[in-house]
Structure 1
């Protein structure tokens, strides 16, 4: 698959082994283009867009190894060329030179060869061909003329214009406790390589991402910035995030990580990594259950883990790893306890805030199904041809149900917990009365394989699915009717209203069936494609809004029944569908004591710090008051001095004014006298 927003190209193969490529527009998913090859290959091993998004290049597989070049929007095949040698050497990958915008340049890599093609004169022509002694695994363009190749023995080869210029020996020091013997003794294959603006990143078979930056020298080669050790699972692909600041990495165990790559080389700041969404199952999901009090779903998988999912806030609350595969599980209605069946034991676990704590177990070999009653006061366990019913609070056996002559296949509680349904592999179905500890009804239909059953909300009828596709409806007197289906249903659940049956299939389809409760007639049904494989378990939320399904594809799917329904939901139904879940959680006493001790220690530290800070503030206050007092005294002293100086200046000014006036008066008289004397003498 290749993504070049808004277009997505997917290489597929039909049931007749005809390879094709479908091109989708994510803004208009119904609009698509289908491209076909014309050789004898049964698959396309790689596909890529040209840098202008107008063309698609695809490499076919053996035995022909043709490289196709399409103008995909018009479905026009522009060129086809054989990329392998005459002996049919394997081709591994193609890469488009996105740095060259004036023409289309594409490289093809084989186990020990690199070929570069250019589209000129309406055909693909070979430009360069490089052979190497190393076994190549992946490659990419990092500039107009430079190609980086990752090998199977931890080497990174650098080629410029078809000439070898450098080799980077990429060796890792693995943690021996987390590494397999093969990883320790054998070189680690480089599985993926991707360029970004300041360098490139590689991912290898040990789950390590290495970031390389351009070296500050005249040659412009590269040096490693840092490594990110994700898991021991192999890296399958790397892509640059849309924000251009990080990488998206997928692993072989179905995990997806986000890694920051823009780090300061000089400061060597490592930004770390995180799950892009949530940690997923690495294997088929075997069993699943939900509860009433809490918005959680519990799943167990062939990857030997149990996971608790919060479907209201969309995150994984708990992941617990075990030495053996969990076979079945059941969640208590209050969401605080979990019943888990293994191949050689059955265990009850307390769901803590971040863990599962086992507090009861019994050695029961070969348990295929365990289930809590709807009220939570009982739980039932299949043990061969018998059913063991326990008290959930005392763990005492209430009743060992015997009556089947072959292995029991399926059990189910009635809504009021007064009845228990069971079916075996020989086609015998039984209904057991729990309070009276007796068999109410039994029916044997040889040759019929009943896969699932549900009681109606009023406990009056039982719907049973058969491997042939029929749905049987029984009451306490016998068969009421049959509801034929054109597909095989392997799981069945019913809404609380009783008029919606939900079934699942072995090929990933969920069927919603609406039934008229008055005349038992099928009103209509519709199918929803959810999973890519067999659906192993099906459940419905207590408010009838959500359908939970899990399958062999390792996916847990949540489908909104109201959004997919054509029926009208009135305001009263909407009001009833609004629920408030319990927020309580359990914690072990030692953990609580440890956390309490930590809280007390931290509280004491905080109190001591507050006391010290108060003392510092008080001392600072006293010191400031003393400083303010001294400053006030100095200020008052300065003010008094200034006042004295001012008075002295005023006094001097007054004296000077008087002296000036006297001097002026004397001078004036003197001048007048001189003038008079001059006048007299003149006359």
Structure 2
């Protein structure tokens, strides 16, 4: 949906802010009762800032003031509302979505949908306007000089419509827009009316039945097309469902859906939904069911149409735009084909050059392979020859090494036996030295323990003496601190007394100045009166 006027989001103030637990989405509410959201991802923020559009509606735009008008049609599941927020909105009561809206410069007091759902009648503070419901706009078709029209309605066939101005009802034809009839009184067989606190059924100027209200004054009334149930709205926002004919006892169902007085009520053509609007700016869509949860039976077969109105200028503009896009598409296709041909030619040429290059490289590699194969065969023959010679030489060297290492092993074994005997002698000597060292260490440890016990007693006495001195210093410091606090309190009291005296003096000066100002004002007033006289 869009509006031809200034976007209302640009004129709103943010009241509250809330962030999702994952810190990915920011939601705000405004002073006009609207809800908006913004994505906090870096890519989305940069893209939206480039288009100067950070927030979008969280669900859909709502009315921000009291709703004054309500109407439904027959061939479409649409409901129209108007409000003191100077907007007219078209809702789909089946999908629960806003189909279309537009804001105006004047306040709207009443609204009526044509049975086809293609036209809308709106009563503004200055005029009554008949408008077309287009694909994406609400456009004025005819204006009538009826100010502050509080009620307007189409006939069941849509060939006539009526509008109220004061206590007069004007009836117009829909085809020629001529005023064919002017009514100043009501007539009919049976009328249901609501007073401030009672529902009356009137027939032939006689009150047949009365149903008093429990609490609150009645403000609106709606009767189902089947004539089986009556709905009333109150000033407290409650809705009552009453059986018809009106019962003798107080038997009805009460709900509290609104937070303000119910202004208008309407029932869809198939008796499936109850529509109510209130001073709180809310449109309530309620499913009508009986006690068993079943919908009301209706003999009317409703077939909703999907046709919409489109102006010739808009259609021609869209056709021209489509033609331009088609031509642009053809140009792009031709350009793409030309670029593809150029790329194919370029790729073919490159492929041919690469094939020639790779063929030459393959031939050179084959020649190199033959040369390498010949060299490998020659190298294998030389390696086999060298391997036989190395094996003979290695066998001879191995025998020489075995003889050499056998003689060395005998010599080293003798040396090992000598070292083992020497090690046993040294081990006996070290055991004797270790025993004597342990005895001398024990004696030295006992001497050191005695010396340190004496030193520990001396340090303990010194510590007790220092603790007593510290306690004495702490006691002296507490006395000094207490005296300092008393001195500070005395200084504060003296300063407070001095400032209170100054304050009293200033108050007296201020009173004196006020009295002088009053005297001057009286003198000035007297001078003005003399000047005017």
CA contact (8 A) 2:23 2:40 kept: no
Partner Cα separation in structure 1 for residue 45 and residue 302 of structure 2: 54
Q: What residue number does 2:334 align with?
A: 611
Cα deviation code 1:531-555 (max 9, x no counterpart) = 1111100111222222111111111
Partner Cα separation in structure 2 for residue 642 and residue 343 of structure 1: 96
Matched, 1:512 2:241: yes
CA contact (8 A) 1:283 1:303 kept: yes
Provide closer, same or farther for how the CA distance between residues 628 and 341 of structure 1 changes in structure 2, counting only shifts above 3 A. same
Provide closer, same or farther for how the CA distance between residues 333 and 578 of structure 1 changes in structure 2, counting only shifts above 3 A. closer
CA contact (8 A) 1:465 1:472 kept: no
Matched, 1:584 2:307: yes
Matched, 1:503 2:223: no
Q: What residue number does 1:540 align with?
A: 267
Q: What residue number does 2:219 align with?
A: 490
Could you state the TM-score of these two structures normalised by the residue count of structure 1? 0.48
Shift in Å, 1:230: 5.2
Partner Cα separation in structure 1 for residue 75 and residue 197 of structure 2: 36
Shift in Å, 1:264: 7.8
Partner Cα separation in structure 2 for residue 336 and residue 306 of structure 1: 14
Q: What residue number does 1:471 align with?
A: 200
Shift in Å, 1:286: 0.9
Secondary structure of 1:330's counterpart equals strand
Provide closer, same or farther for how the CA distance between residues 230 and 368 of structure 1 changes in structure 2, counting only shifts above 3 A. closer
From 323, 327, 335, give the equivalent of 2:105. Answer: 323
Q: What residue number does 1:553 align with?
A: 280
Q: What residue number does 1:350 align with?
A: 132
Matched, 1:300 2:79: no
Partner Cα separation in structure 1 for residue 195 and residue 9 of structure 2: 45
Partner Cα separation in structure 1 for residue 275 and residue 342 of structure 2: 65
Cα deviation code 1:174-205 (max 9, x no counterpart) = xxxx9xxxxxxxxxxxxxxxxxxxxxxxxxxx
Q: Could you tell me which runs of 5 or more consecutive residues in structure 1 were left unpaired when the two chains were aligned.
A: 1-177, 179-228, 405-421, 423-429, 432-440, 442-460, 657-683
Shift in Å, 1:628: 5.3
Cα deviation code 1:404-455 (max 9, x no counterpart) = 3xxxxxxxxxxxxxxxxx4xxxxxxx23xxxxxxxxx6xxxxxxxxxxxxxx
Matched, 1:394 2:117: no
Matched, 1:235 2:17: no
Shift in Å, 1:326: 1.3
Partner Cα separation in structure 1 for residue 132 and residue 111 of structure 2: 13
Cα deviation code 1:135-169 (max 9, x no counterpart) = xxxxxxxxxxxxxxxxxxxxxxxxxxxxxxxxxxx
Shift in Å, 1:233: 3.2
Q: CA RMSD in A?
A: 3.8
CA contact (8 A) 1:250 1:256 kept: yes
More strand by share: 1
Which has the greater radius of gyration?
Answer: 2
Secondary structure of 1:303's counterpart equals coil
From 341, 345, 348, give the equivalent of 2:123. Answer: 341
Provide closer, same or farther for how the CA distance between residues 522 and 357 of structure 1 changes in structure 2, counting only shifts above 3 A. farther
Could you state the TM-score of these two structures normalised by the residue count of structure 2? 0.60
Q: What residue number does 1:481 align with?
A: 209
CA contact (8 A) 1:286 1:328 kept: yes
Shift in Å, 1:529: 0.3
Q: What residue number does 2:256 align with?
A: 529
Provide closer, same or farther for how the CA distance between residues 602 and 632 of structure 1 changes in structure 2, counting only shifts above 3 A. same
Aligned residues: 366
CA contact (8 A) 2:75 2:302 kept: no
More helix by share: 2
CA contact (8 A) 2:220 2:234 kept: yes
Matched, 1:286 2:104: no
CA contact (8 A) 1:303 1:325 kept: yes
Provide closer, same or farther for how the CA distance between residues 366 and 280 of structure 1 changes in structure 2, counting only shifts above 3 A. closer
Shift in Å, 1:314: 3.0
Cα deviation code 1:536-584 (max 9, x no counterpart) = 001112222221111111111112222xx413538x959x899653222
Provide closer, same or farther for how the CA distance between residues 289 and 309 of structure 1 changes in structure 2, counting only shifts above 3 A. same
Q: What residue number does 1:566 align with?
A: 291
Q: What residue number does 1:133 align with?
A: none
Cα deviation code 1:614-645 (max 9, x no counterpart) = 222234344445555666777888899999x7
Partner Cα separation in structure 1 for residue 175 and residue 302 of structure 2: 27
CA contact (8 A) 1:516 1:522 kept: no
Cα deviation code 1:586-626 (max 9, x no counterpart) = 22322222222222212211111011112222343444455
Secondary structure of 2:333's counterpart equals helix
CA contact (8 A) 1:245 1:262 kept: yes
CA contact (8 A) 1:515 1:521 kept: no
CA contact (8 A) 1:514 1:523 kept: no
Partner Cα separation in structure 1 for residue 158 and residue 164 of structure 2: 17
Matched, 1:247 2:26: yes
Secondary structure of 1:601's counterpart equals helix
Q: Could you tell me which runs of 5 or more consecutive residues in structure 2 were left unpaired when the two chains were aligned.
A: 1-5, 378-533
